[in-house]
Chain A
Amino acid sequence: MLVLTRKLGESITIDDRIRVTVVAIKGQQVKLGVEAPPETRVYRQEVYDRILEENRRAAAAQPGDLAALRAWWQRSQR
């Protein structure tokens, strides 16, 4: 991993198109500002990881599952 030391207000540039700036530092929290083209997707890592994991679990669905879900749904509506 590339490790860079930055002060408050300083930035790094990635790929000529993405700029990350240290906007605020308070105790253990660092606030980062990201300037990037609109097609760039920026995620909080823990949220990204959670959705990735859920997608992988969901991708294991089998052909018979639709009927099972339908039965579950009908029971839950009563």
Chain B
Amino acid sequence: MPAQLVPFARVEPAVPAVWHFPAGILGFPEVKAYRFLAAAPGPFRWLQAHEVPLAFVVVDPWLVVPDYHVALDASALHTLNAHAESTLTAVAIVTLPSQPADPPTVNLQGPLVLNLDTGLAMQLVLAHGPYHTRHPLVAPPVPAP
């Protein structure tokens, strides 16, 4: 069985600063190296490209959807050089609305999957499943005590 993904917030202190995306991020295939900027207060982080002015705001998708689940196919495992014991996590890209009144959204259909053991990363494209590219960025309701 391939490795399960661990929520980003849980492993963040152990996450390497520098990430190699062999295929880039969709739309930016020539940009292969990114780094996380130093942790800021709150759940949002900058994932900043090396050498070019390009950056994405990312968030732990499990903070938005606690039972968030993605399956990695053989091609993804190959790209990440991952095996059953690998420690993998994911972040989701946040999009700010063009209209200020609209909620920000989070792309749960194209998560960035990170292999903590190898520093390899890729954007997954989920063809099946319940997730969309514009999931409203709202904290899940706190269960009643």
Contact = CB atoms under 8 A, between A and B. Distances in A.
Contacts, number: 104
Contacts of A50: 109, 133
Interface in B54-89: 54-57, 74-75, 78-79
A50 B137 CA distance: 18
A73 B42 contact: yes
A12 to B, nearest CB: 20
Given A52-B27, A76-B139, A69 B75 contact: no
Classify chain B: how many residues form its interface, as a range: 35 or more
B56 A54 contact: no
B26 interface: yes
Contacts of B75: 38-42
A72 B107 contact: no
A51 B110 contact: yes
A55 B28 contact: yes
B123 A51 contact: yes
Contacts of B103: 72, 76
A43 B73 CA distance: 13
A72 B137 contact: yes
Classify chain A: how many residues form its interface, as a range: 20 to 34
A14 interface: no
Interface stretch (A2-10, A21-29, A56-64): A56-64
A75 B116 CA distance: 32
B26 A52 contact: yes
Contact of A43 (B74, B96, B127): B127
Interface of A: 38-44, 47-48, 50-61, 65-66, 68-70, 72-74, 76-77
Interface of B: 23, 25-28, 40-44, 46, 54-57, 74-75, 78-79, 93-96, 98, 103-104, 107, 109-110, 123, 125-127, 133-134, 137-139, 142
